[in-house]
Chains A and B, each alone.
Chain A
Amino acid sequence: MQFESLDPRVNRLRLVRTNEAFDVGHEMDQWQTWEVFHQQARGDQHRHVGIVHAPTAEMALLFAKEQYARRMKCVNLWVVRTADVYASEYEDADMFEPAFDKSYRESFGYTQTRARIDEYRKAQGLTTPAAAETEKQAEPVAAKTTVKKAGIVIGKKK
């Protein structure tokens, strides 16, 4: 017996009622999955946005484009087979947390330098103008610029 549907599309399918058990029939029926990485604008990092099921990389990319970039601004997509991702364990997440003071490798670990200069200048009675202003303004810029050579941060001059 067919369905009398309100949906003309459904009527055209000529569906038949059945009570037969259904099985997709193959354990890979929906294919493997691919992890999708999305880059919003040139210069941005690619960001993981989800997965698609697809048989091949080309198809995964076709699918990813419409599932993950039909609204979001996008300039580039990557797809990586889920099976090829080698990931750390959340159980080991504690190894990412520094257990000891690691401020020696952070910029905030160097806050007393100016005080040291001022102290010295005061003790020596030096009268040449202090460089403090220039230094303060250069810092945030320096943090953003690229690191050239070994660890030397080239900041823009004011």
Chain B
Amino acid sequence: MYGSLSIIEVDNWGRKVHEEDPQKLAEFEARIERGEKIEPQDWMPFEYRRQLIRMIEQHAHSEIIGALPEGTWITRAPGFKRKLALMAKVQDEVGHAQLLYSAAETLGKPREQMINDLINGKSKYSNVFNYPAVTWADTAVIAWLIDAGAIINQVANAKGSYGPYGRALDRICAEESFHLRYGYDTCVHLATGTPKQRQMLQEALNRWWTPIMHFHGPPDKTSVHTETLMKWQVKMASNDAMRQQFLDMYVPKIWELGLTIPDPNLRKNTETGLWEYTEPDWDEFMRVINGDGPCNAERLAVRRYAEEKGRWVRQALIRPTERYVTPLA
């Protein structure tokens, strides 16, 4: 699961588009215009490659880190059905990380480097995973609403121009639909259960509403670079459009369960057809992204632990003759 954060580094542009070979650039853009996919061995503008690596890598990190807050409840899930489903769901997140790292690798960045950049804090991941899953109901809310947000983002990105990313996302979206059903079913059982269960769910929703509103990233900045990335089909939908789509699809479902969304200003404007809401605290968003969230340090420490404790296992099996070759597709 993944939202939008600083995925598109609009201000820090490494090479200007007009510095690219004009003929190759024209062919590249014409190919995208025709709806054809770009494959790893194709010529591509420097910034296309850089932004894609950045985006796919952050998506991959989000999956592997995303396994942690929900993983918190694997050992405590109530009953066989939930226990097995949560085990399978968290496993899927790890699987998604594997698929996405593979897609990023095709652009020329080995997995080793991506792991280093994650653990050293050089590379970001989705902000929501820096919040704790305090109770069982938090995992239910994550599985339903965070995954729902992620699906909106991923379905859009799956139509993007880069072949390997699209292929990975097609597979990921198929699995996310299980997550969404599982999450919804779990929330519904809490909402329609005992007063204690209902209260648990309401409290979790209260805790998660801000991260949910943060999920698709800050309001859109329009710039020449954003337009270029949209033309190259790297960025497929604006943050605000995705947030609107999310609200449209899920607010009625939340209200249907008799739950209260902790935003008194939330309503759909019947004239504009758009949702109006209190802007979430974007300073908090920036603080958390820059490392100062409730769980940032723990998440990275757990990843570091996993890599360090697993090192002897991996290194015992390295063959001296092995050479890394960039995966093909």
Residues of chain A touching chain B, judged by Cβ–Cβ distance below 8 Å, are: 3, 5-10, 13, 15-18, 21-33, 35, 48, 50-53, 55-56, 59, 67, 71, 82-83, 85, 87, 89-91
Given the known interface contacts A9-B75, A90-B41, A90-B42, the answer about A32 and B298 at a Cβ–Cβ threshold of 8 Å is no
Binary contact track B28-57/A, C-beta < 8 Å → 1, others 0 = 000000000001011000000000000000
The interface centre, meaning the residue of A6, A13, A25, A26 with most chain B CB atoms within 10 A of its CB, is A6
List of A residues within 8 angstroms of B329 by Cβ: 35, 48, 50
- Asked whether, in the complex, the Cβ of B327 is within 8 Å of the Cβ of A82, the reply is yes
- Asked whether, in the complex, the Cβ of A3 is within 8 Å of the Cβ of B318, the reply is no
The interface centre, meaning the residue of A13, A22, A32 with most chain B CB atoms within 10 A of its CB, is A22
Contact partner, A10, options B302, B323, B325, B326, Cβ 8 Å: B302
Known contacts A10-B72, A31-B318, A50-B102; 16 further A-B pairs (Cβ under 8 A)? A9-B72, A15-B301, A21-B120, A22-B119, A23-B116, A24-B311, A25-B315, A26-B318, A28-B318, A28-B323, A29-B115, A32-B324, A35-B329, A83-B325, A87-B41, A87-B328
Residues of chain B touching chain A, judged by Cβ–Cβ distance below 8 Å, are: 39, 41-42, 68, 71-72, 74-76, 95, 98-99, 102, 105, 110-112, 115-116, 119-120, 132-134, 167-168, 171, 175, 297-298, 301-302, 304-305, 307, 311, 314-315, 317-319, 322-329
- What's the nearest-Cβ distance from chain B to residue A42, in Å? 23
- Asked whether, in the complex, the Cβ of A15 is within 8 Å of the Cβ of B298, the reply is yes
29 cross-chain CB contacts under 8 A: A3-B297, A3-B301, A6-B132, A6-B134, A13-B302, A13-B305, A22-B120, A23-B116, A24-B112, A24-B311, A25-B311, A27-B112, A27-B324, A29-B112, A29-B314, A29-B315, A32-B323, A48-B329, A50-B168, A50-B329, A51-B327, A55-B317, A59-B317, A82-B325, A82-B326, A82-B327, A83-B323, A83-B325, A90-B41
The interface centre, meaning the residue of A17, A71, A83, A91 with most chain B CB atoms within 10 A of its CB, is A71
- What's the nearest-Cβ distance from chain A to residue B178, in Å? 9
- What's the nearest-Cβ distance from chain A to residue B327, in Å? 5
- Asked whether, in the complex, the Cβ of A26 is within 8 Å of the Cβ of B315, the reply is yes
- Asked whether, in the complex, the Cβ of A89 is within 8 Å of the Cβ of B307, the reply is no
Given the known interface contacts A17-B301, A59-B317, the answer about A82 and B132 at a Cβ–Cβ threshold of 8 Å is no
Residue of B nearest to A22 (CB): B119
Q: How far is the CA of A32 from the CA of B317 in the complex (A)?
A: 11
Q: How far is the CA of A22 from the CA of B317 in the complex (A)?
A: 21
- What's the nearest-Cβ distance from chain B to residue A137, in Å? 38
Given the known interface contacts A27-B112, A51-B327, the answer about A9 and B304 at a Cβ–Cβ threshold of 8 Å is no
Residue of A nearest to B301 (CB): A15
The 4 closest A-B pairs by CB, nearest first: A55-B317, A7-B72, A22-B119, A83-B325
List of A residues within 8 angstroms of B39 by Cβ: 90
List of B residues within 8 angstroms of A30 by Cβ: 110-112, 115, 314
Contact partner, B302, options A15, A27, A50, Cβ 8 Å: A15
- Asked whether, in the complex, the Cβ of A50 is within 8 Å of the Cβ of B41, the reply is no
Residue of A nearest to B308 (CB): A22
Residue of B nearest to A13 (CB): B305
